[in-house]
């Protein structure tokens, strides 16, 4: 059975390289989201940009599932590093995702009664193999946390680290994983580090955002070839 891979980036720069490598068949605009339908590495792919933030990401993901019946979801993009071993331009592969701006007790006690959402083992394994084959970037497998603000304060960063022990922080991955979980769709979040989520984050982000976005997208291209 032919599989369809849904790929989501928050910003245009995060999907630019993927779009450049896509044989475009058609486009659809639904609820303001543009969906590119085509093939990459001979595989059926739906590529979309969800915009920044959890609500945008969740809406875009649900449409991707309902309208395009995707079999897998890969979220590609950039993030702020939160682990001492994670450096700028390193890759992080999510083994699970959660929110850093929602209380753990609320996650456990309210539907869907999950403190975090686990990435798909098959997709994680594919991502690891793709990293090991290319041997171009350092990679890590770990927790990715999401919230509704760009983390650029050392004190906030340290609080998130103490509470969640994550590898990196961004603004969409947990919402994408949340929706994928509800719909029983395998997912993984791939992030390349653009900054260290500290007081220098804005300066680092401006310098490395495009480079890091391409690092993540290149890994996803290699993953598509292997799926």
CA-based R_g, the chain, Å: 16
What is the β-pairing status of strands 72-81 and 168-170? antiparallel
Q: Looking at residue 119, what DSSP letter applies?
A: P
Q: How confident is the model at residue 176 (pLDDT cuts 50, 70, 90)?
A: very high
pLDDT at 50 (0 to 100): 98
From the list 14, 95, 204, 209, the catalytic residue is 14
From CA 91, how far away is CA 101, in angstroms rounded? 23
Q: What is the mean pLDDT of the chain?
A: 93
pLDDT at 200 over 60: no
How many Cβ atoms from other residues are within 10 Å of residue 161's Cβ? 18
Q: Is 12 a catalytic residue?
A: no
Tokens 């996803």 — which residue? 220
pTM to 2 decimal places: 0.94
Whether 162 sits among the annotated catalytic residues: the reply is: no
For the beta carbon of residue 58, count every other beta carbon within 10 angstroms.
Answer: 18
* % of the chain beyond a pLDDT of 90: 84
Distance, CA of 8 to CA of 38 (rounded, Å): 14
User: How far from chain centre, in Å, is Cα 206?
Assistant: 19
Residue 15 to residue 34: CA distance in whole angstroms: 12
CB-based contact 142:83 (threshold 8 Å): yes
Task: Indicate the length of the chain as a whole number.
Answer: 227
Looking at domain 4-226, its CATH superfamily turns out to be Nucleoside phosphorylase domain (3.40.50.1580)
Residue-level pLDDT at 143: 98
Q: Which of the four pLDDT bands, split at 50, 70 and 90, describes residue 188? A: very high
Over residues 23-62, the pLDDT tens digits come to 999 999 999 999 999 999 999 999 999 999 999 999 999 9
- Buried b vs exposed e over 24-34: b needs ≥16 C-beta within 10 Å? eeeeeeeeebe
Break the chain into its structural domains and give their ranges.
Answer: 4-226
Catalytic residue among 172, 195, 209, 214: 195
């Amino acid at each position: 059975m032919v599989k369809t891979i849904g790929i989501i980036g928050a910003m245009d720069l995060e999907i630019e390289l993927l779009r450049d490598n896509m044989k475009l068949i058609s486009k659809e605009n639904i609820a303001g989201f543009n969906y590119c339908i085509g093939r990459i590495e001979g595989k059926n792919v739906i590529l979309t940009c969800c915009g920044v933030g959890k609500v945008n990401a969740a809406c875009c993901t649900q449409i991707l599932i309902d309208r395009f019946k995707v079999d897998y979801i890969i979220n590609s993009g950039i993030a702020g590093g939160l682990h001492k071993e994670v450096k700028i331009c390193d890759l992080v592969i999510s083994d699970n995702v959660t929110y850093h701006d929602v209380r753990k007790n609320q996650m456990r006690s309210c539907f869907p009664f999950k403190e975090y959402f686990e990435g798909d083992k098959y997709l994680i394994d594919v991502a690891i193999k793709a990293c090991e084959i290319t041997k171009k970037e350092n990679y890590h497998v770990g927790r990715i946390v999401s919230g509704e603000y760009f983390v650029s304060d050392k004190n906030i960063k340290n609080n998130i680290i103490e509470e969640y022990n994550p590898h990196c922080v961004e603004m969409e991955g947990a919402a994408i994983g949340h929706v994928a979980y509800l719909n029983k769709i395998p997912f993984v979040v791939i992030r390349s580090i653009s900054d260290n989520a500290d007081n220098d984050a804005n300066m680092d982000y401006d310098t490395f955002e495009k480079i890091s976005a391409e690092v993540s997208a290149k890994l996803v291209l290699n993953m598509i070839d292997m799926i």
